[in-house]
């Protein structure tokens, strides 16, 4: 059963994902606060992130994800962060006991928020 589910999820992806462990901040408007986490993998169309298990996240929520840039990249781009608007597609609670975190799969919307 796990193989079928993994195959189905992989078939729904339009873009190739790259492993990338990077700090992120997830803004939850309903909670009126940020939750710090890490990316696990990222593609042009979405990402898989981990956040603390106390994060009140659920599928269907709209969130903003702050990807901070290194100082060199910030100087090149003229901005300190890339902020992506996204919709939560899936929440995985299977890692709660090992790492006190939950996983979330998000799909980026077409909107970007540029910061300086």
Asked if CATH classification 1.10.101.10 holds for the domain at 17-114, the reply, yes or no, is: no
Q: What angle do CA 46, 49, 51 make, to 5 degrees?
A: 145
pLDDT of residue 96: 76
Which pLDDT value is given to residue 79? Answer: 79
Q: How far is CA 71 from CA 23, 29, 63, in A?
A: 14, 28, 25
Consecutive H or E run containing 83: strand 81-92
> Over the stretch 67-100, which tens digit does the pLDDT of each residue have?
988 888 778 888 788 899 999 999 999 877 778 9
The answer to whether the beta carbons of residues 42 and 18 sit under 8 Å apart is yes
- The whole-model pTM stands at 0.78
The domain limits of the chain are 17-114
Who has greater pLDDT, 1 or 95? Answer: 95
Q: What is the pLDDT of residue 112?
A: 61
Q: What is the per-residue pLDDT across 10-46, written as a single tens digit (0 to 9) for each?
A: 446 577 888 989 999 999 999 999 999 999 999 999 9
Which residues is 102 bridged to in the sheet? Answer: 51
pLDDT score for 87: 97
Which pLDDT does position 29 carry in this prediction? 94
Highest mean pLDDT out of 2-6, 60-64, 111-115: 60-64
């Amino acid at each position: 059963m796990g193989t079928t589910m993994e195959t189905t999820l992989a078939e729904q992806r339009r873009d190739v994902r790259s492993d990338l462990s990077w700090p992120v901040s997830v803004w939850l408007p309903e909670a009126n606060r940020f939750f710090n986490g890490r990316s696990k993998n990222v593609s042009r169309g979405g990402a898989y992130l981990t956040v603390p298990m106390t994060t009140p996240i659920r599928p269907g929520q709209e969130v903003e994800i702050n990807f901070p840039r290194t100082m060199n990249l910030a100087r090149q781009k003229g901005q300190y962060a890339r902020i992506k608007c996204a919709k939560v597609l899936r929440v995985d609670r299977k890692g709660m006991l090992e790492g006190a975190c939950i996983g979330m799969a998000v799909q980026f919307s077409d909107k970007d928020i540029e910061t300086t």
